[in-house]
Structure 1
Amino acid sequence: MGNISIWQLLIIALIVVLLFGTKKLRSLGGDLGGAVKGFKNAMSSEEEKKAIKEDTTDNTVNKTDTTAAKANTAAEKAESKDKQ
């Protein structure tokens, strides 16, 4: 009891097609597919944003280190010129 046979599924499908029509079911399927695709794109873009944010944070640290090194080099050059 509780098992649904293939014939019962076919009868249910036929009733659904008769009630809603093929055009409405086709548009419903397209809308559902578009929603799933949009959800996947949103999930992947969130992961990309996180990756970009991490890369940006790493690059900012590297740029800060490079800028500090350049400033130290410039200060050392200025001191050496003052000594001469």
Structure 2
Amino acid sequence: MGGTSIWHWIVVGLIVVLLFGRGKISDMMGDVAKGIKAFKKGMSEDDNTPATPVQPSEPVRTLDHQAGAPTSTATTDHKVG
């Protein structure tokens, strides 16, 4: 395997600049910086507000308590083996 000398990185950098252009790369870096700032702001807002449990507006219904659900408790034998 080849080593990663400074010349390899220069060639890779030139290819990236040729493909994307200097303007697009700087715009992309600006967008990344805005995303990082927004993430940090969101994390600091989460630390300041205490967590409050969410109360459901109506009781949670399970399969056993559904309206109109059959209430039979039929059991079946399952054989293992």
Per the normalisation by structure 1, the TM-score is 0.55
Matching residue's letter, 2:30: G
Which ranges in structure 2 are unaligned for 5 or more consecutive residues?
52-81
Residue 7 and residue 38 in structure 1: after superposition, are their counterparts in 2 closer, same or farther (change >3 A)?
Answer: same
The CA distance in 2 between the partners of 1:29 and 1:20, in whole Å, is 12
| Higher gyration radius (CA) | 1
The equivalent residue for 1:33 is 33
| Secondary structure in structure 2 of the residue aligned to 1:4 | coil
Which ranges in structure 1 are unaligned for 5 or more consecutive residues?
54-84
The CA distance in 1 between the partners of 2:10 and 2:47, in whole Å, is 42
The CA distance in 2 between the partners of 1:12 and 1:43, in whole Å, is 35
Cα deviation for residue 3 of structure 1 reads 3.4
Cα deviation for residue 2 of structure 1 reads 5.3
After superposition, what is the alpha-carbon deviation per residue over 1:25-67, rounded to whole angstroms, capped at 9, x for unaligned? Answer: 01000000100110011001100112xx6xxxxxxxxxxxxxx
| Secondary structure in structure 1 of the residue aligned to 2:15 | helix
The CA distance in 2 between the partners of 1:2 and 1:43, in whole Å, is 42
The CA distance in 2 between the partners of 1:32 and 1:12, in whole Å, is 21
Per the normalisation by structure 2, the TM-score is 0.57
By percentage of residues, which structure has more helix? 1
The equivalent residue for 2:61 is none
* RMSD of Structure 2 on Structure 1 (CA): 1.8
The CA distance in 2 between the partners of 1:3 and 1:39, in whole Å, is 37
